Amino acid sequence: MRQEGGALRCPTCSRAYPINGGIPDFIGEELSRSADPVLRRMRFIDRMAHIYESKLWYPIVLNVYGGFQSPSLAQLIGTVSQKVQSTKGRVLDIACGPGTYGRRIASPSKEVFGIDVSMGMLRQGAAYVAGEGTANMHFARARVEALPFEDGVFDAVLCCGSLHLFADTVTALREMARVMKPSAILSVFTFTAGRGGILKFARVREWSLTNHGLHVFELSAMEQYLTASGFRDFQPELSGSTLTFSARKQAA
């Protein structure tokens, strides 16, 4: 793509994508009219961006959904970061929020590209990056189902606190695999039907899926989704109902 004024234009289809406050916007639809209940709540998600990394959000969500055995936000960041520690090159941070995970691993050896559907989250992330002086962290508004990147360009992908929110898990994972290099690592934090928090109850899981689009994964199902999407070497770690795992894109 090439920049023309305040937009990026595709030389192939001539479609233009606006740049708002330095953040390219690759979403053309009005999300408030979406059939997806998660996307319809985008205004609420925009407004909560400034408290997302505070004690008013993460500790509460982790303890309620994952149980009191759940790791803290700092521990999750450490676990996710450790899985990509040896990676050098481009890292994609899926549904990045304000760059909660991505900006902690951005470095001279890791260039991080964060995408999210919430412009409020992205703007908060850009403010954090500017205030912290973080280098090699970029933001764009895009959906996981239609990533604005070529095939095989990323050396690692993060997907933290969001895989359970995507309408079609396999579609999302396949799109992640598409933009990854062979054997690149995927590092994920999500929830499972474990022994902690309210998600250990089947009725709560059913209600959460029906009313909030929240998918709670059995480990066996998660491995099947990954295999069907082109991943191998599923390595899960479970704490209460909190699940972190890594997997690798299958070699060419």
Domain 35-249: give its CATH code: 3.40.50.150
- pLDDT of 156: 98
Q: How far is CA 158 from the centre of its chain?
A: 6
State the average pLDDT over residues 163-169: 94
- pLDDT of 33: 77
Q: Give the model confidence (pLDDT) of 219-241 as tens digits.
A: 999 999 999 999 999 999 999 99
pLDDT at 37 over 80: no
pTM for this model (two decimals): 0.94
pLDDT at 69 over 80: yes
C-alpha–C-alpha distance, residues 40 and 127, integer Å: 25
Percent of the chain with pLDDT over 70: 100
Domain boundaries, the chain: 35-249
State the average pLDDT over residues 22-49: 85
State the average pLDDT over residues 160-173: 95
- pLDDT of 10: 80
Contacts of 89 (CB under 8 A, 6+ apart): 109, 110, 111, 154, 155, 156
C-alpha–C-alpha distance, residues 171 and 136, integer Å: 28
Q: At what angle do helices 169-178 and 219-228 cross, to 10 degrees?
A: 50
